[in-house]
Amino acid sequence: MNDILQSAPHTDLPALSLRGVSKRFGEAEVVSDFSLDLYAGEFVALLGASGSGKSTTLRMLAGLERPSSGQVLMGGVDVTDLRPAARNIALMFQSYALYPHLTVRQNIATPLRQALLSAAARLPGAALLSAKTRETEAAINSRTQSVAQMLRLDGLLDRKPGQLSGGQQQRVALARALVRDPSAFLLDEPLSNLDTALRHTTREEIRDLHRRTGHAFLLVTHDQADALSMADRIAVMIAGRVAQCAPAADIYHRPATREVARFIGAHRMNIFSPGPEAASLHPRGAQDDIGIRPEALHIDPKGPLSATLQCAAFHGEETLLHLRSDSGAELLAVTDGSAPLPPQGSKMRFAAPAARLHCFDAATGIRKEIAA
Partner 1 sequence: MRPRESLTSLVLTAPATLALVIFVFLPVAVVFLLAFTNYQIGAPGLGWVGLDNFEQLFGSRLGRNALLNTLTYVAIVIPASVGLGLLVALGLHALARSMPRLSDVLKAVYFLPVAATLVAMAVSWQMLLHPSLGLINTWSSALGLPAPLWLSDRGLVLYTLSAIGIWQSVGYNMVLFLAGLAAIPPALYDAAEVDGATGGWSRFWLVTWPMLGPTTLFVLVVTAASAFRVFETVATLTKGGPAFASDTIVYALYREGFVYFKAGYASAITVVFFLALLLLTALQVWVIERKVHYR
Kindly list the residues in this chain that would bind partner 1 in the complex (CB under 8 A).
59, 62-64, 83-85, 89-91, 93-95, 97-102, 110-111, 114-115, 119, 122, 160-163, 176
When the beta carbons of 194 and 309 are compared against partner 1, the nearer one is: 194
Strands (E), the chain: 16-25, 28-38, 43-48, 69-74, 77-78, 89-92, 184-188, 216-221, 233-238, 241-247, 270-272, 289-292, 298-299, 305-314, 318-325, 330-336, 347-351, 357-360, 367-368
Distance of closest approach, residue 8 Cβ to partner 1, in angstroms: 26
Report d(CA 98, CA 111) in Å as an integer: 12
When the beta carbons of 53 and 294 are compared against partner 1, the nearer one is: 53
**70: Cα within 13 Å, side-chain hemisphere:** 23
Count the neighbouring beta carbons within 10 Å of the beta carbon of residue 241.
Answer: 16
When the beta carbons of 85 and 339 are compared against partner 1, the nearer one is: 85
Widest pairwise Cα distance in the chain: 87
Distance of closest approach, residue 90 Cβ to partner 1, in angstroms: 7
Which residues are CB-neighbours of 75 under 8 A, at least 6 positions away?
12, 13, 14, 15, 183
Asked if 43 and 231 count as a contact pair (C-beta separation under 8 A), the reply is yes
When the beta carbons of 122 and 254 are compared against partner 1, the nearer one is: 122
Distance of closest approach, residue 94 Cβ to partner 1, in angstroms: 8
Distance of closest approach, residue 111 Cβ to partner 1, in angstroms: 4
When the beta carbons of 153 and 228 are compared against partner 1, the nearer one is: 153
Which residues are CB-neighbours of 341 under 8 A, at least 6 positions away?
309, 312, 319, 321, 335
When the beta carbons of 122 and 268 are compared against partner 1, the nearer one is: 122
Asked if 65 and 23 count as a contact pair (C-beta separation under 8 A), the reply is yes
Distance of closest approach, residue 353 Cβ to partner 1, in angstroms: 48
Q: At what angle do helices 104-116 and 131-150 cross, to 10 degrees?
A: 130
CA 133 to chain centre: 41
When the beta carbons of 107 and 257 are compared against partner 1, the nearer one is: 107
Distance of closest approach, residue 63 Cβ to partner 1, in angstroms: 8
Strand partners, 48: 237
DSSP helix/strand/coil, 63: coil
Report d(CA 39, CA 43) in Å as an integer: 8
When the beta carbons of 101 and 368 are compared against partner 1, the nearer one is: 101
Distance of closest approach, residue 39 Cβ to partner 1, in angstroms: 22
Distance of closest approach, residue 113 Cβ to partner 1, in angstroms: 9
